[in-house]
Structure 1
Amino acid sequence: MTEPDTADPQGARARLFELSQGRGVSLARLSTLLGRNPSYLQQFIRKGSPRKLEEEDRRTLAEFLDVPEWELRDGADSGKEKSYISSSNRKNRDWVEVARLDIKAAAGPGTLPDAENAYDLIRFSRRWLAEQGLESAELSAITVKGDSMEPLLRDGDEILVDMRAQPFRDGIHVVRLSDTLMVKRVARSGAGRAVLLSENAAYPPIDVALDEVELIGRVVWKGGRI
Structure 2
Amino acid sequence: MVKDPQNPRQSLAGPRARLLELSQEKGVSLAALSELLGRNPTYLQQFIRKGSPRKLEEQDRATLARFLGIGEEELRESQDNSYVKPPKRRDSGDWVDVPRLDLGAAAGAGRVPGDEAGFDAFRFSRRWLAEQGLESAQLSAIRVEGDSMEPLLNDGDEILVDLSPRPFRDGIHVVRLGETLMVKRVASTGAGRVALLSQNLAYPPVEVAAEEVAIIGRVVWKGGRV
* Alignment TM-score > 0.5, same fold: yes
Cross-structure match for 2:189: 189
Q: Deviation of residue 191 (structure 1)?
A: 1.9
> Which amino acid letter does the alignment assign opposite residue 138 of structure 1?
Q
Q: Deviation of residue 110 (structure 1)?
A: 2.7
> Which amino acid letter does the alignment assign opposite residue 186 of structure 1?
V
Cross-structure match for 1:149: 149
Cross-structure match for 1:82: none
| Distance in 1 (alpha carbons) for counterparts of 2:112 and 2:145 | 11
| Distance in 2 (alpha carbons) for counterparts of 1:93 and 1:217 | 26
Does the 8 Å contact 1:102/1:114 carry over to 2?
A: no
In proportion to residue count, which structure has more strand?
2
> Which amino acid letter does the alignment assign opposite residue 119 of structure 2?
Y
> Which amino acid letter does the alignment assign opposite residue 190 of structure 2?
G
Q: Deviation of residue 208 (structure 1)?
A: 0.9
Does the 8 Å contact 1:103/1:115 carry over to 2?
A: no
Secondary structure of the equivalent of 2:128? Answer: helix
Q: Deviation of residue 108 (structure 1)?
A: 1.8
Cross-structure match for 1:18: none
Cross-structure match for 2:103: 103
- The 1:29–1:163 alpha-carbon spacing in structure 2 relative to 1, beyond 3 Å, is closer
Q: Deviation of residue 29 (structure 1)?
A: 3.7
- The 1:177–1:126 alpha-carbon spacing in structure 2 relative to 1, beyond 3 Å, is same
TM-score (norm 2): 0.59
Cross-structure match for 1:170: 170
Pairing 1:1-226 to 2, within 5 Å after superposition:
29-30=86-87, 92-112=92-112, 115-226=115-226
TM-score (norm 1): 0.59
| Distance in 1 (alpha carbons) for counterparts of 2:128 and 2:100 | 18
Q: Deviation of residue 101 (structure 1)?
A: 1.2
- The 1:146–1:106 alpha-carbon spacing in structure 2 relative to 1, beyond 3 Å, is same
For the aligned residue pairs, the C-alpha RMSD in angstroms reads 1.9
Q: Deviation of residue 104 (structure 1)?
A: 1.0
Give structure 1 regions of 4+ aligned residues with deviation exceeding 4 angstroms.
none
| Distance in 1 (alpha carbons) for counterparts of 2:87 and 2:181 | 21
> Which amino acid letter does the alignment assign opposite residue 124 of structure 1?
F
Q: How many residues align?
A: 142
Task: Specify every segment of 5 or more residues in structure 1 that has no aligned partner in the other structure, as ranges.
Answer: 1-27, 32-63, 66-88
Secondary structure of the equivalent of 1:199? Answer: coil
| Distance in 2 (alpha carbons) for counterparts of 1:126 and 1:148 | 32
Task: Specify every segment of 5 or more residues in structure 2 that has no aligned partner in the other structure, as ranges.
Answer: 1-84
